[in-house]
Structure 1
Amino acid sequence: MSARPFSKISAPLGGLLAVVGLVAVAALTTPDMTGRTRLNLEVLLALIWAIYVLQLIVTLIAARERDFWDRLPAIAIDVLAVLVPFAAVLFVGTRDQTLYCAIWLLKPLRGSPFFRLMGSVLTKQARNLIGITSIFGIVLFGAALTAYLIERDVQPNTFGSIPQAMWWAVVTLSTTGYGDEIPQSFAGRVLAGLVMMCGIGIFALWAGILATGFYEEVRRRDFVRNWQLVATVPLFQRLGSSALVEIVRALRPRVVPAGAVICRKGEAGDQMFFIVEGRVSIATPNPVELDAGSFFGEMALITGEPRSATVSAATEVSLLSLYSEDFQMLSSSNPEIADIIRKTALERRGATPKA
């Protein structure tokens, strides 16, 4: 029997159980809890652990059916969720055994693409991040050294060595400012102000590099996904690579659930739609259905008239939308495609009204 049907609910079930388990772990730290309630919560944790054992088995079976390395992060999290609490029962005192169930914090992340995305961003931005980290280390040591020289005679217990001063430098450079170590001399306070301003700049650079990396990676993945969708539309399959790049940048993907209205009769139309997957139903006196590879809504872009029919999703449908300004760009750069769209629009208008 294949493990795939169970694996579809495995990730959300694991996340839900993790939330329940962590609430139980937190509740067990309450000192005035009765013995019976404590026992019930411990039994609940044991039951969740048993379900995680089953989930691990299913994950290993599914990994044999698919690529093992693609599922390695999920397998690692499932193994930790089982082994860490089990090891705590064997080797840790009774009082703290349940605290090790906090490893279940990782369970909601097992099916998330975030780790892969983060790894890709860190790999591509590694040089810039290492450079900023080097600057941070230089400023950190320099601030600790200077604070030691300035404050060692004034506050020997606090700034009596560079390692002691380094704690102050970390707190100040991160602009946290706990206040447990404060320069007393005027020069020391001037130094603190300079270190704070350096910290703001360094952390802003870190954030900017990561934000840019995430933006570029998400944009690249969206481009690849849109390219794959556009390539399935017959109307665009004759285009060369350069023209296809323009189309990919102009079209916006959209998924509409079954039964949802895509556009209504009488509305002003500012976009047309290409069907990638699924079917749409056009509400005319003689209802018409269009399937993958077709397009609709072009009349509103060509004539500027309101929508002439209501279009809804007969099934869940994957669409690519083309806005009016992008349609004008398409008309100038790819007149053959624009002519096909206009010809289809005129044929439909001469036959049965469409959206």
Structure 2
Amino acid sequence: MSARPSLRISTPLNGLLAALGLAAVAALTTRNIGATARLSLELVLGGLWLFYVLQLADTLAAWPTADRRALMPHLVIDMVAVVVPLAAFLFADPRDQSLYCGVWLLKPLRHSTFFRLLGRVVARAAPNLVGVTSLFGIVLFGASLVAYLIERDIQPDKFGSIPQAMWWAVVTLSTTGYGDEIPQTLAGRVLAGLVMMSGIGIFALWAGILATGFFEEVRRQDFVRNWQLVAAVPLFEKLGSAAFVEIVRALRPRAVPAGSIICRKGEPGDQMYFIVEGRVTIATPSPTPVELGPGSFFGEMALISGEPRSATVTAATEVSLLSLYSEDFQMLSSSNPEIAEVIRRTAETRRGRAPEA
């Protein structure tokens, strides 16, 4: 059974509707709100809840034929968005019923690829993150213990126990510095400085681990996508695995909308292009322009001869391209001379000369 439009709602619109509902929840907590305004906001929440009921129904309708593993997060979020506000309406204090619509914070996660990416990054970096978190806990407890020993007699109301001192340690480690608890002794202030510097280092480690994880995950996804694109070019079908990996790393994907100019005649050329999908039109002196489709390449003359572009190339349809820069072309020529020879022969043929042996 095909899904209805409410199931195919775009991620930005899903986020916009959730933001509208959360804004209504926040507005309902303001004091002295008028009866008419309150009713209007409650109607907005009711309308959104009904829409989410329809969305849940569509998700359930798609369940028998869909990829259940992929659809499970959608189903869980849709059920929470419907069941929690309904239960609040039936059982919660009337003053707090609208607050339970705060679960709609989960709605933007429904189609988000970022949070799936974040989950993979955290899962891969979990051992390192756990290690840094353990270090944070050690520093936190150690700082609380030492602060308790130093300050307990001077400020028993603020450092009279280790749990009390932990609040100061958390605030100091995060370098927030609320100022509600301040060491009075010289030793306590030296300790505070050391704790601050430790906190900066620990948070830098967390940030570095996550940043590295994101970079590696995005690079891995790009490599897989480029591999699939390169595999679609017939010229590279006979490459060995090592050479294929080099080409995947060298070629850069590019999407061009229909009607856009890819390169102009007379411009200096520093890259050539391989067509993965779509068609391009090459303007020639003849009345009929030349069209190239998937598997073809163009722009190689500028790399081989160093001359400016000899023709203007326009995307006849939406085109998926792979670009090869001049330095990477030289690498390709040295490591895969047979492919470079095919490119050179094609270039010579297009220039109207008989290809050299």
* TM-score class, shorter: over 0.9
Q: Displacement of 1:27 after TM fit? A: 2.4
Alpha-carbon separation, structure 2, partners of 1:2 and 1:295: 39
Name the TM-score, length of structure 1 as normaliser: 0.95
Which residue of the partner structure matches residue 179 of structure 1?
179
For 1:314-337, what per-residue CA distance to the aligned partner results, in whole angstroms no more than 9, with x for missing partners? Answer: 111111110111111111111111
**Secondary structure of 2:63's match?**
helix
1:31-46 matched pairs, under 5 angstroms: 31-46=31-46
Alpha-carbon separation, structure 2, partners of 1:4 and 1:100: 27
Greater mean deviation of Cα atoms: 131-140 or 21-30: 21-30
Q: Displacement of 1:9 after TM fit? A: 2.9
Alpha-carbon separation, structure 2, partners of 1:205 and 1:196: 14
Q: Displacement of 1:17 after TM fit? A: 1.5
For 1:298-319, what per-residue CA distance to the aligned partner results, in whole angstroms no more than 9, with x for missing partners? Answer: 1111111111222121111111
Alpha-carbon separation, structure 1, partners of 2:342 and 2:65: 45
Which residue of the partner structure matches residue 260 of structure 2?
260
How many residue pairs match? The answer is 351
1:1-355 matched pairs, under 5 angstroms: 1-3=1-3, 7-9=7-9, 11-284=11-284, 285=286, 286-350=288-352
Q: Displacement of 1:106 after TM fit? A: 1.9
Greater mean deviation of Cα atoms: 223-232 or 310-319: 310-319
Name the TM-score, length of structure 2 as normaliser: 0.94
The aligned amino acid for 1:238 is K
The aligned amino acid for 2:324 is L
Contact 1:274 1:294 in 2 (8 A): yes
Contact 1:4 1:62 in 2 (8 A): no
For 1:105-124, what per-residue CA distance to the aligned partner results, in whole angstroms no more than 9, with x for missing partners? Answer: 22122111122212221222
Q: Displacement of 1:217 after TM fit? A: 1.0
| Identical counterparts, % of pairs | 73
Q: Displacement of 1:10 after TM fit? A: 5.1
Q: Displacement of 1:206 after TM fit? A: 0.8
Q: Displacement of 1:28 after TM fit? A: 2.2
**Secondary structure of 1:30's match?**
coil
| CA distance 1:7–1:335, shift in 2 (3 Å) | farther
- Runs of 5+ consecutive residues of structure 1 not aligned to the other structure: none
Greater mean deviation of Cα atoms: 90-99 or 298-307: 90-99
The aligned amino acid for 1:48 is L
CA RMSD of the aligned region, Å?
Answer: 1.5
Runs of 4 or more above 6 Å deviation: none
**Secondary structure of 2:281's match?**
strand
